[in-house]
Amino acid sequence: MHFLRNRHFLLADLLLLPLAVYLAFVFRLDSFNVTPYWASLAYYLPLTLALLFLVFRSRGLYARYWQFASVGDLMLLLESIGLAWLATSIIIVGVRLFAASALVVPYSVLPISLLTVLAATAGPRLLARVWQQRDKHSTAVAGKATVIIGAGSAGVMILRELSENPQVGLTVVGFVDDAPTKQGIRIHGVPVLGDRKALRRLARTYGIHHAVIAMPTAPGREIRQIRQLCEAAGIEAQIIPGMYELLGGKVRVNQLRTVQIEDLLRREPVRTDVSAVAALLQGRRVLVTGGGGSIGSELCRQILRCGPAELIVLGHGENSVFSIQNELDAIRKAEGLLDSVVSAVIADVRFLDRIKIVFEQMQPEIVFHAAAHKHVPLMELNPAEAVINNVIGTRNVLDASYAVGVERFVMISTDKAVNPTSVMGASKRAAEMLVLQMAGRTGKPYVAVRFGNVLGSRGSVIHTFNAQIARGGPVTVTDPEMRRYFMTIPEAVQLVLQAAELGHGGEIFVLDMGEPVRIVDLARDVIELSGLEVGHDIDIAFSGLRPGEKLYEELFIPGEEYRRTRHEKIFIAANASLLVDASLDGTVHLLKLAAERDDRAGIVLAFRSLIPEYTPIPQGAPKRPALVVQVAGSPAMEMAFELGKGN
């Protein structure tokens, strides 16, 4: 029935609706002879048809593709018929009550006509939909026997997508779901066959070779277990995107892909107050430094979707800035964000005069400072660059912000700034102090946000592991006990934006990243997701800690008093500004002079003066946390944070 068009449905209505009204009188009189009411039929019929066609046209019923009708289309049809019937009934009742007329329509004809009209209009349209499905199934080829894991709304959507697209080559034989109330039921004719523990038996019984994990909000431990069960049953597993990918706007729930490392590290989805963040950014001029980087580019994507008046992407790498500018322009057009202007600026935060000119020209109202050097071992070899870019660069952006009256400033910091053992960590701690100092100077919400390693960012350990696997191994891990906190890029950025909305000035925000992950476990997961076996195809080798690295990252500085914010995943150190050293300006000046001379000893000495807990450690001498503090109150879990006492 691909040939059917709306003009054919209009013709069907013209033919069937008069018959439907006539049949209403027939059913009322229990006779095909309606001569006694011929006059009443003669004015009731055109009235009914006129109102029906008027409502149908106004509600766009002749502008729909009924071969692919949905429940929403059917509801619109029912509402339209009901509206026209109600108007007709009011007119008929009004005529009988208030007008002296011989043209009397029996009241019982009204409900009967509602049913006959419904049959006459809905029948052809539903027939077209049913025939479309029949035609599709008759031409479909048998695909891989597939089970959908998760019989919720996402699973039902996947079932519908696979049913309507047989060319994908997947034939759904059933659902798998752990909910006892769903066992044995059918969803759109497809049975729930059992729970996840039955996968091996189901694979043998039904010849299942493929599974789709339709659980976008499931935490990583569940995805890991399901993947292991699928692998043990000889089932190839795909997955729909996680909640953060969906919120990031890059993917849709009906897109399938192989299980990735991000899926195994998922946590319960964070509930972000999107409306509050949008209210903060909408109609404002927002500038992002480091806008071409991993975090900066995702910040730009999510900020753009909040509808700023202008988004200023500032970076010193022309290729990365060019790339994100093109992507943002495409998002603007695709999502109708044409009122938001995207401006790209090539500038380096290390040069104060250039940054001041940019700020004077652009007049940003909100600044997200993401530009930084972040690689620990590399900054140990180039401490001068860490100082100039991370410390002096931050001071330059702050000075430019102060000069033009920036209303809100958010610096992206790191857990490596806590009890630092590396030049990179020390430089970020110094940058935090500069932000806190400027908050006191301006009285405005200038804040810093700390989080840990970001999966998928440039230089991420995942990229290193994948490259090593591609070369045939081994995969190198520094120490079997090394642990790190991990977040996905969209997750980190959503919480940064939320923290920006929560800030009042002079605070440091710490994001709840769940439990730290052993790097060796991460390496094993990456190898297995590549379809290889640890020890057989790829070895894991331990190389020892590199300069500046420690076994465990820490989140809190001694003396900072943390409490939960109204957002369950964000902590705040409201007293952070009280810990800023009074000699900050003088020490930063000494750091700058030492960096200009590439004086490594002078840089370390200045950092140790400014940050007493900064303790450089030689290679192979891990710094272990001295104290574990419990922070209670999370509805999801108790968070354990390792706190060093300093050395």
Mean pLDDT estimate for the chain: 79
CATH architecture, range 274-643:
3-Layer(aba) Sandwich (3.40)
Residue recorded with tokens 């909000």: 217
pLDDT of the residue at 538? 82
Instruction: Kindly report which listed range (125-129, 237-241, 277-281, 432-436) carries the lowest average pLDDT score.
Output: 125-129
**Between 164 and 373, where is the model more confident?**
373
**Over 60: is that where the pLDDT of 251 sits?**
no
Q: Pick the closest to residue 604 from 465, 456, 420 (CA basis).
A: 420
Same fold: 144-264 with 274-643: yes
pLDDT of the residue at 21? 73
Q: Looking at residues 527-549, what average pLDDT do you find?
A: 78
pLDDT (tens digit per residue) in 597-615: 999 999 999 999 999 888 8
Residue 425 CA to chain centroid, in angstroms? 29
Q: Please, which pLDDT band fits residue 640 given cuts at 50, 70 and 90?
A: very low
Classified as helix, coil or strand, 601 is helix
pLDDT (tens digit per residue) in 60-69: 776 655 555 5
Catalytic residue selected from 416, 428, 444, 623: 416
Give the Cα separation of 554 and 480 in Å (integer): 18
Give the Cα separation of 290 and 316 in Å (integer): 8
Strand order across the 144-149 sheet: 186-187, 190-194, 170-176, 144-149, 210-213, 236-239, 257-258
Q: Please, which pLDDT band fits residue 639 given cuts at 50, 70 and 90?
A: very low
What are φ and ψ of residue 200, in 5° steps?
-65, -45
Residue 301 CA to chain centroid, in angstroms? 11
Give the Cα separation of 286 and 309 in Å (integer): 8
pLDDT of the residue at 113? 76
Q: Which two tokens stand for residue 616?
A: 């450089």
251-280 as b/e: b if 16+ CB within 10 A: eebeebeebbbbbbbbbbbbebeeeebbeb
Which stretches within 59-70 are classed as H helix?
Answer: none
pLDDT of the residue at 630? 32
pLDDT of the residue at 59? 74
**Over 90: is that where the pLDDT of 362 sits?**
yes
pLDDT of the residue at 259? 66
CATH class of 144-264: alpha beta
Distances (CA, A) of 347 to 321, 356, 410: 10, 10, 19
- The residue type of 568 is E
Rg (CA), the chain: 33
Residue recorded with tokens 């919400």: 445
Asked if 406 and 398 count as a contact pair (C-beta separation under 8 A), the reply is no
Residue 416 among the catalytic residues? yes
601, 605, 611, 614 alpha-carbon torsion, rounded to 10°: 50
pLDDT of the residue at 48? 79
Sign (positive or negative) of CA dihedral 364, 386, 299, 641: negative
Q: Looking at residues 97-104, what average pLDDT do you find?
A: 60
pLDDT of the residue at 98? 67
Give the Cα separation of 183 and 428 in Å (integer): 53
Q: Which two tokens stand for residue 637?
A: 């879990």
Classified as helix, coil or strand, 426 is helix
Q: Looking at residues 314-320, what average pLDDT do you find?
A: 94
Q: Is the peptide bond before 474 cis (omega within 30 degrees of 0)?
A: yes
Asked if 148 and 158 count as a contact pair (C-beta separation under 8 A), the reply is yes
Q: Looking at residues 315-328, what average pLDDT do you find?
A: 94
**Between 404 and 507, where is the model more confident?**
404
Q: Pick the closest to residue 76 from 89, 63, 67, 87 (CA basis).
A: 63
**Over 60: is that where the pLDDT of 622 sits?**
no
Give the Cα separation of 61 and 48 in Å (integer): 17
Model-level pTM?
Answer: 0.65
Domain ranges of the chain: 6-137, 144-264, 274-643
**Over 50: is that where the pLDDT of 626 sits?**
no
Q: Say which residues have a Cβ less than 8 Å from residue 208's Cβ, sequence separation at least 6.
A: 145, 146, 147, 173, 199, 202, 233, 235
pLDDT of the residue at 288? 97
